[in-house]
């Protein structure tokens, strides 16, 4: 029987769907997803909307394709926290990575030895993004006192499909509750937060398989024998896909946010700068550094300098041509959304510096791009990426941004659709089915241009 695989990638702004047959991506779909804001920096998504969008989009696939699907898996975003109470109205909000409610508490806690101990146990940086920080904050302010479960987006979807709330190793590894060495919930951390293992999802391996609920299969038009694989987290899968298909261990993803990642055979931790280190599967970890500021900075810039997003990207090449490297001295601090690595400061602010009466619109736009990419360059150095790096995410749809990125970071980049989480799901579950070295487009950096950026980077972010 021919294997037909349906992958689902749940992101910040959209849910993507991909159907693979014999190693080839045959069908792609997507559905937009809302993020809501609340008091004190709260950022959350709706559990019901996520499920509704998944159901609706699967049902929109061709009838014959749905009947032929033999397996399904889910890529989930890291760091989601879903407090489930007896009140269904309050149980719809799933707090996501950009939630900043725990910022003040984490700023204080970060100075303690207990914070360092927690980081070294889990590989998860001490920051408001993590479920550890969120639960610690909710305990501190006495919210969700009647919580029965602390789940996340992965548990939500696997419970919907299989009837049981499960979480894969990779997604669990980014909660701040998972011990990197035992691969289980850390008992001391759970005791500190006053929660028990039965309030969390059941930890399973990424490739563990479970039967689909018959009622859900019928509702979605899927075969009753579809196998549901646990899957992994979006960040780990993007890194794994690039490494698997190209042989390159380093990856840079710039979507709404950004992250530099490296597939490693060993745990790598830095208690001073706090890179993340997440477990994927036996003998494989994903080491990296995330930024809050990626494509969302360009989205902001398009609102300020252009009539629309399309207009911004049409005008971008001319703006870059009209302003020299260094933007005539204008520096942009790209911290519109606070920042994670290497600052781990959700209160960090954005700013233009060194503006004069002679500053042009082209200078401002170039400075926005350069500031964003110079910040990411620091993450590349932090992770220790050298020689080559794979590139993925919507940011790299623009040729000029591809070229500017590799010139600034000083590494040759490789563009490939294989670098997406859905491809990572397929590679994880069906290793060897896709062509091992996928077709890829090389974007070579220019050494002379890179040296100019090396000089610019030295004091770019100085106060």
Structure confidence by residue, pLDDT tens digits, 154-183: 999 999 999 999 999 999 999 999 999 999
Q: Can you name the residues that pair with 185 across neighbouring β-strands? A: 178
Long-range contacts of range 164-167, CB-CB < 8 Å, 24 or more positions apart? 164/202, 164/210, 165/201, 165/202, 166/201, 166/202, 166/203, 166/204, 166/208, 166/210, 166/230, 167/200, 167/201, 167/202, 167/203, 167/204, 167/230
Coil/strand/helix, residue 388: strand
Strands (E), 359-460: 388-392, 412-415, 441-443
pLDDT band per the 50, 70, 90 thresholds, residue 238: confident
Coil/strand/helix, residue 398: coil
Cα–Cα distance, 132 to 65 (Å, whole number): 40
- Domains within the chain, CATH numbers bracketed: 4-235 (3.30.420.40), 295-457 (3.30.420.40)
Exposure class string for 90-108: b at 16+ Cβ within 10 A, else e: ebbbbbbbbbbbbbbbbbe
Pairing label, strands 351-353, 331-333: antiparallel
The single-letter DSSP state of residue 336 is B
| Tokens coding 311 | 């207009």
Coil/strand/helix, residue 369: helix
Question: Which is nearest to 82 in space by CA: 150, 158, 33?
Answer: 150
Per the CB < 8 A criterion, the answer to whether 148 and 86 are in contact is yes
Burial (CB < 10 A; 0-12, 13-18, 19+), residue 307, is exposed
pLDDT band per the 50, 70, 90 thresholds, residue 15: very high
Q: pLDDT, tens digit, for every residue of 25-54?
A: 999 999 999 999 999 999 999 999 999 999
Q: pLDDT, tens digit, for every residue of 364-374?
A: 999 999 999 99
Q: Is a pLDDT exceeding 60 seen at residue 438?
A: no
Cα–Cα distance, 150 to 80 (Å, whole number): 10
| Tokens coding 354 | 């060194």
Backbone angles phi, psi at 244, to 5 degrees: -65, -45
Q: Which helix (H) or strand (E) holds 162?
A: helix 153-162
* Measured CA distances, 188 to 18, 24, 185 (Å): 40, 45, 9
Of all residues in the chain, the percent with pLDDT exceeding 90 is 86
Q: Which helix (H) or strand (E) holds 203?
A: strand 202-204
Per the CB < 8 A criterion, the answer to whether 426 and 434 are in contact is yes
pLDDT score for 347: 86
Q: Is a pLDDT exceeding 70 seen at residue 255?
A: yes
Angle at 291 between CA 285 and CA 296, to 5 degrees: 130
């Amino acid at each position: 029987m021919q294997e037909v695989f349906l992958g689902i990638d749940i992101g910040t702004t959209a849910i993507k769907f991909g159907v693979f047959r014999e190693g080839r991506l045959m069908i792609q779909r997507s559905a937009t997803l809302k993020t809501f804001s609340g008091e004190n920096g709260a950022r959350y998504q709706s559990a019901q909307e996520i499920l509704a969008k998944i159901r609706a989009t699967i049902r929109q696939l061709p009838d014959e394709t749905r009947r032929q699907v033999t397996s399904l898996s889910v890529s989930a975003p890291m760091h989601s926290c879903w407090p489930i109470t007896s009140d269904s109205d309050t149980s719809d909000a799933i707090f996501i990575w950009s939630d900043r409610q725990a910022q003040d508490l984490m700023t204080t806690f970060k100075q303690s030895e207990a914070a360092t101990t927690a980081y070294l146990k889990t590989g998860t940086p001490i920051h408001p993004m993590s479920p550890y920080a969120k639960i610690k904050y909710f305990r501190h302010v006495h919210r969700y006192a009647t919580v029965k479960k602390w789940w996340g987006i992965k548990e939500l979807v696997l419970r919907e499909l299989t009837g049981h709330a499960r979480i894969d190793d990779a997604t669990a590894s980014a909660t701040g509750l998972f011990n990197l060495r035992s691969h289980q919930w850390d008992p001391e951390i759970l005791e500190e937060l006053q929660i028990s293992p039965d309030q969390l999802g059941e930890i399973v391996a990424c490739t563990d398989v479970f039967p689909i609920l018959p009622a859900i299969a019928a509702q979605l038009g899927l075969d009753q024998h579809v196998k549901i694989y646990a899957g992994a987290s979006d960040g780990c899968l993007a890194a794994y896909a690039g490494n698997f298909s190209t042989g390159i261990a380093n990856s840079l993803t710039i979507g709404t946010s950004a992250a530099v990642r490296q597939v490693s055979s060993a745990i790598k931790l830095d208690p001073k700068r706090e890179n993340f280190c997440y477990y994927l599967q036996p003998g494989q970890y994903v080491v990296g550094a995330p930024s809050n500021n990626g494509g969302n900075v360009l989205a902001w810039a398009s609102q300020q300098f252009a009539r629309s997003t399309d207009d911004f990207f049409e005008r971008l090449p001319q703006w870059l041509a009209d302003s020299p490297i260094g933007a005539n001295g204008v520096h942009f601090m790209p911290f519109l959304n606070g920042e994670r690595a290497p600052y781990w400061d959700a209160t960090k602010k954005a700013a233009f510096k060194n503006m004069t009466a002679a500053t042009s619109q082209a200078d401002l736009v170039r400075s926005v791009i350069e500031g964003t990419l110079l910040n990411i360059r620091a993450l590349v150095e932090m992770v220790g990426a050298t020689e080559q790096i794979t590139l993925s995410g919507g940011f790299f749809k623009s040729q000029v941004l591809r070229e500017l990125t590799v010139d600034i970071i000083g590494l040759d980049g490789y563009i490939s659709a294989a670098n997406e989480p859905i491809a990572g799901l397929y590679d994880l579950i069906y290793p060897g089915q896709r062509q091992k070295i996928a077709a890829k487009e090389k974007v070579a950096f220019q050494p002379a241009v890179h040296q100019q950026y090396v000089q610019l980077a030295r004091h770019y972010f100085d106060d």
